[in-house]
Amino acid sequence: MTVATRPAVSSALPAIPMGDIAPWAILASLLAVLVVYFVGAEQGAWSVIAGTDVHEFVHDARHLLGFPCH
């Protein structure tokens, strides 16, 4: 009777150079700051877009994240 053996699997993760991650991390951070701005601060004292369109679009997100809006 023969017993099948599986090849050894390495549990070590490959190293990713920081230079490859940095541009994506910066982009993700900028997008996150932009989203937080539009959800939390737009239609307030620092409003960039006139009207209430942005406020109504992110209204539920404001409540979900704890930003007061009315």
- Report which listed range, 9-13, 16-20, 29-33, 41-45, is most confident: 29-33
Pick 21 or 53 by higher pLDDT. Answer: 21
Q: For the segment 26-54, what is each residue's pLDDT rounded down to a tens digit?
A: 999 999 988 877 777 766 666 677 777 77
**CA–CA gap between residue 37 and residue 57 (Å, rounded):** 13
pLDDT attached to residue 33: 86
Q: Where are the domains of the chain?
A: 38-70
Q: For the segment 22-33, what is each residue's pLDDT rounded down to a tens digit?
A: 999 999 999 998
**In this structure, are residues 29 and 9 in contact, taking their beta carbons and an 8 Å threshold?**
no
Mean pLDDT across 44-66: 74
Burial 32-69 (b: 16+ CB within 10 A, else e): eeeeeebbbebbeeeeeeeeeebbeebbeebeeeeeee
